[in-house]
Amino acid sequence: MAKRILITGFKGGDNSSKVLLDKINHKHKLYLENDFRVSEDQIKKETDENEYDEIIMFGQKPLVKKIYIELLARDGTRIIDTSYDFNQIIEHLNENGYKTLNALDAGKWLCNNVYFFHMDLFKDIKVIFVHIPTLNNIEDIDDMAKVFSEYLKARNKKSSSEYLKDLRRIVGKRPLLNCKCDCLVFDKRGQVLLQRRSDDGLWGVPGGSMELGETTQETVKRKMLEETGLEVDAVELFNVYSGEEQRHIYPNGDQVYPVVIMFKTTKYKGNLRGNKETEELKFFDIEDMPGDITRPFVGVLKDLKDIAKERK
């Protein structure tokens, strides 16, 4: 199945989010009332009746001309960060001439409250809130709607995880071959970033499987952002790993033989922040690695130590 994406906006004839929703070419739309309790009931009803993988919320922001991508919502002292891969939507908007700003303040009333409610309620649905300017500060609302329509169409294509699920329905738990892109991120001290996975509790290199149609560079940047919160740049090829030592059996019994394209970089920005696949993120010295590492990381660690010896 392709992704099911719900887009929402707020009612009101001059509300830019409502006008944008009118013009976006997309099947699943929900027009929210300008009242938190009422809109809360609307969202509950819609998601009870239909299953969604993603929700993109639109609201209008006065006195601005950029598009604000809201990265978190607050409720008193509680803060919830979005798990949505916002880098893709930012890249798409920027490529089409729209300036964006990563924002940490979704407001103090309706927009923030509805956003917080979405993320607090839906643990398995990725949610993002997009603030657009008011109508008088949007140069061409039809063009903006066209750009968002194209983004939604692209997002609606079948993902690699869905592709693998389709294959699993055919082959069951027998071994599958897939392509992964991981990245060794080194800090200024020469320590390398590792990820403790939530499914098996073992340490390894962050990264993941390619999406259909992606380049390796696109994959590694997307997965690093999703799993670590870091935007990596200037990635270079470190090595390619395959064979029996890469064989992995997931806790549910699924078997896979990945071809791992391992990148490396010292160029990154952002704050460490994992997703549901990540239990912990930490930088380690090459000579002081944790003992509970994944089987595929053994060969990578050997290569790292060999390189370190050569440099001494």
Provide the residue ranges of all domains of the chain, joining segments of one domain with +. 5-155, 174-311
Rounded to two decimals, what is the model's pTM? 0.54
Residues in a beta bridge with 42: none
Q: Does the pLDDT of residue 244 top 60, yes or no?
A: yes
What is the CB neighbour count within 10 angstroms for residue 172? 10
Mean pLDDT of 174-188: 95
pLDDT bucket at 312, cuts 50 / 70 / 90: low
pLDDT band, residue 251 (cuts 50/70/90):
confident
Domain 5-155 has CATH 3.50.50.60: no
CA distance 206 to 201: 13
3-state helix, strand, coil in the chain (%, to 5): 35, 30, 35
Q: How far apart are CA 52 and CA 125, in angstroms?
A: 7
- pLDDT mean over 60-76: 95
CA distances from 96 to 45, 89, 144 (A): 35, 11, 9
| pLDDT tens-digit readout, 119-128 | 998 878 899 9
Quick one: tokens of 254? 């699924």
Nearest to 232 by CA among 187, 197, 284, 296: 187
Q: Is domain 174-311 in CATH 3.40.640.10, yes or no?
A: no
pLDDT attached to residue 1:
42
- Residue 14: Cβ within 10 Å count: 10
Residue 69 pLDDT exceeds 50: yes
